[in-house]
Structure 1
């Protein structure tokens, strides 16, 4: 069964790590330890065959929205100023059970120090995979 684990934040989260335009509030050692722990977690999932893919996303200031208007693509910068929460990263896991997905999501939540969203991935027929 495939699941997506998503983590959310706001633009200040990138500054916390020194990845945005502001000053980092974490020390270099804290940032290095965080990325090492994330790498170890992903390494464990790769070794077990449960990791499908996962990525952190760039600073939200690089976000663009795209929609079709009158048959043509129209783009605008985003997220909008009132946006309080943005998708910060995601991972796709392939696990034997829902309980295992919850276990991994809980561990990921502890690593990123915030709540995460866990959602089953559907196949092209609309069924959970």
Structure 2
């Protein structure tokens, strides 16, 4: 079963790993930041070793994004993401796991201060 783990964040300035640029993460004690970083490395190693990690990527600054909407019979390009968004799509991981429960357990390990993690099934 394939799922995508979507990371939503809004670091200032935009950078990766996003947690390093979030006030909520920066305000944590050093030991807690180190524990969270080690947990991220651990889940990545675990998924790779189990053959569950299909791929993934960090995404560039949303200020550089272009939106394309269909208007009056053609594609119209506009700057940037939805301006009212407090969080932006920061990156993703495509995973292939045995069950939804496993996908949820992995996705929960990506959550951190100042970020939202969304788990979505891949259709098809």
TM-score greater than 0.5 by the shorter chain: yes
- Partner deviation per Cα, 1:64-108 (whole Å, 9 max, x = no partner): 101344444321111243222211111110000111111101111
Unaligned runs of 5+ in 1: 19-24, 124-129
2:80 counterpart (66, 78, 81)? 78
Unaligned runs of 5+ in 2: none
Larger RCO, structures 1/2 (Cα 8 Å, 6+ apart): 2
Q: What CA distance in whole angstroms lies between the structure 2 residues aligned with 1:9 and 1:107? A: 15
2:43 and 2:106 in contact (8 A); partners too: no
- Partner deviation per Cα, 1:33-76 (whole Å, 9 max, x = no partner): 67776455323312210011111111111111013444443211
Q: What CA distance in whole angstroms lies between the structure 1 residues aligned with 2:123 and 2:82? A: 29
* Change in 2 beyond 3 A, CA 1:100/1:86: same
Q: Give the TM-score, by structure 1 length.
A: 0.69
Structure 1 residue 10 corresponds to structure 2 residue 10: yes
Tell me the secondary structure at the aligned position of residue 48 of structure 2: helix
* Change in 2 beyond 3 A, CA 1:6/1:52: same
Q: How many residues in Structure 1 have an aligned counterpart in Structure 2?
A: 115
Q: Give the TM-score, by structure 2 length.
A: 0.71
Q: What CA distance in whole angstroms lies between the structure 2 residues aligned with 1:43 and 1:12? A: 28
Report the aligned-residue RMSD.
3.2
1:66 counterpart (65, 68, 74)? 68
